[in-house]
Structure 1
Amino acid sequence: MRATERPTFESEASKVIYEYVERHGTAKRNVLLDVAPVPSDEFRTELDRLKSRGYLEEDGGTLQLALDVGTIEEHDTDAGIVTIRPGRQRDFEGLIDAIRDVTSEETYVVAETIAEQLLYDEAVTRHNRVESRVFFVATLGEEVVGWTHLDLPQVSRIRETAQQTVGVKEDYRGAGIGSLLLRRGLDWAEANGFRKVYNSVPMTNDRALEFLGDHDWETEAIRRDHYTIGDEHVDEVMMAYRF
């Protein structure tokens, strides 16, 4: 299933099964059997239908969303061979760690909000009739060293505009990983019909503003005194990239 495709269901049981997995990130098959409002033989039919339609995938009795958001890439960087791939539920702790590393030293309010949302949802990927959220992660070995995130609204009037964030752990900066992640997210958004991505950054985050500007993002607007950081009111710079 594509992340830009709104999920539809042929039965109430399919809807219940899908929404349980979507809300929880993953779910064990036996748990879904208890949740589904149908007998076991009908449950197998409904689950097989969801898998055949590309809505869910199963690994050893564990179900998760089967969003098609691209392939695995490897890049030779100054930090070593970096793998950039779609984020999965197993990356949850690594993503939280990477986002916390970035936001602990810089003012990146949107990323802080994403971390809190991840902790609240306990799910990396979301995809329902209201919103869709995908991550791409950069890894060195098993460590998540960076991410890019796309928040994809499902409301028709804003479905062509996505919010993007990107960040790299301090120890791995300067190797081009951030640029690779940013480009991966932009390429995905363009290929899926988005006309614009945006990011909101406090005026005091010089590093982020310089990074986005160097990659041809433009300032669309400034909201005065939008953030309270410490004891100061700080302007928000609304940056955008158009395809």
Structure 2
Amino acid sequence: MHIRQIDLDDAEKLVNLILQVESESDFMLFEAGERKLTPEQQRYRIVAMEEEENSTIFVAEEKGDLIGYLIAIGGGARRNRHSVYLVVGILESYRGKGVGTRLFLALEKWAREHHIHRLELTVMTNNRAAISLYSKMGFEKEGIKKDSLLVNGEYVDEYYMAKLL
């Protein structure tokens, strides 16, 4: 497995990965088939993120296939440029095999090099595997978003989690 920052040539593979992860998991924001994402839109997003010093995308690759991603979206104002919001997705067949750990280690190295001070994310309170990973990587719960999401007809709370570097 190889962890690296995204290339523009990865746009179509990343779109397919995102859509597959969303179809395999009830823990993502978008439901299966809800998002209309094209390779052209993803290419535009990659280019835009490359121009920002506080945003990036890391991918996990195995035998030429993308198996996981970690998107870091930096704050756009002077007061929050030190902070990035994270979105993580890993193919179901690769979960629990160290992919997330390796993505977070690469992200943290990048974040320190780019003077990022705060890593933050939200996670459904019933997503035990993700919470375990984030806690292992040094993230702490900061609060709860009550009834934040409506999943399969039921309201679900989310934790705010963050790590200060």
Coarse TM-score class (shorter-chain normalised):
0.7 to 0.9
Q: d(CA) in 1 for partners of 2:41 and 2:134?
A: 29
CA contact (8 A) 2:27 2:124 kept: yes
Partner-residue secondary structure (3-state), 2:126: coil
Letter in 1 for 2:28: Y
- In the TM superposition, what whole-angstrom CA distance separates every residue of 1:112-147 from its partner, at most 9, and x where no partner exists? 7xx948548332412488896421111112101111
Q: d(CA) in 1 for partners of 2:108 and 2:26?
A: 23
* Alignment correspondent of 1:108: 28
Indicate the structure (1 or 2) with the bigger Cα radius of gyration. 1
5+ unaligned residues in a row in structure 2: which ranges? none
CA contact (8 A) 1:149 1:185 kept: no
* Alignment correspondent of 2:85: 163
**What are the residue-to-residue correspondences of 1:124-143 with 2, within 5 Å?**
124-125=45-46, 126-127=48-49, 133-143=55-65
* Alignment correspondent of 1:177: 99
* Alignment correspondent of 1:85: 4
Letter in 2 for 1:208: A
TM-score when normalising by structure 1? 0.58
* Alignment correspondent of 1:94: 13
**What are the residue-to-residue correspondences of 1:184-203 with 2, within 5 Å?**
184-203=106-125
- In the TM superposition, what whole-angstrom CA distance separates every residue of 1:9-60 from its partner, at most 9, and x where no partner exists? xxxxxxxxxxxxxxxxxxxxxxxxxxxxxxxxxxxxxxxxxxxxxxxxxxxx
- In the TM superposition, what whole-angstrom CA distance separates every residue of 1:194-233 from its partner, at most 9, and x where no partner exists? 1111011122222211211122210011011111112111
Provide the aligned C-alpha RMSD in A: 2.6
Letter in 2 for 1:101: Q
- Change beyond 3 A, Cα 1:239–1:89: same
Q: Which protein, 1 or 2, shows the higher relative CO under an 8 Å CA cutoff with sep ≥ 6? A: 2
* Alignment correspondent of 2:73: 151
CA contact (8 A) 1:218 1:240 kept: yes
5+ unaligned residues in a row in structure 1: which ranges? 1-81
Identity, in percent, stands at 26
TM-score when normalising by structure 2? 0.83
Partner-residue secondary structure (3-state), 2:73: strand
* Comparing 117-126 and 160-169, the one that deviates more: 117-126
- In the TM superposition, what whole-angstrom CA distance separates every residue of 1:121-176 from its partner, at most 9, and x where no partner exists? 33241248889642111111210111111101231011011012222212223331
* Structure 1 runs of 4+ with >3 Å offset: 115-120, 127-133
Are 2:41 and 1:121 equivalent residues in the alignment? yes
- Change beyond 3 A, Cα 1:187–1:130: closer
Q: d(CA) in 2 for partners of 1:222 and 1:173?
A: 25
Q: d(CA) in 2 for partners of 1:207 and 1:172?
A: 13
CA contact (8 A) 1:146 1:168 kept: yes
Q: d(CA) in 2 for partners of 1:197 and 1:137?
A: 17
CA contact (8 A) 1:84 1:181 kept: yes
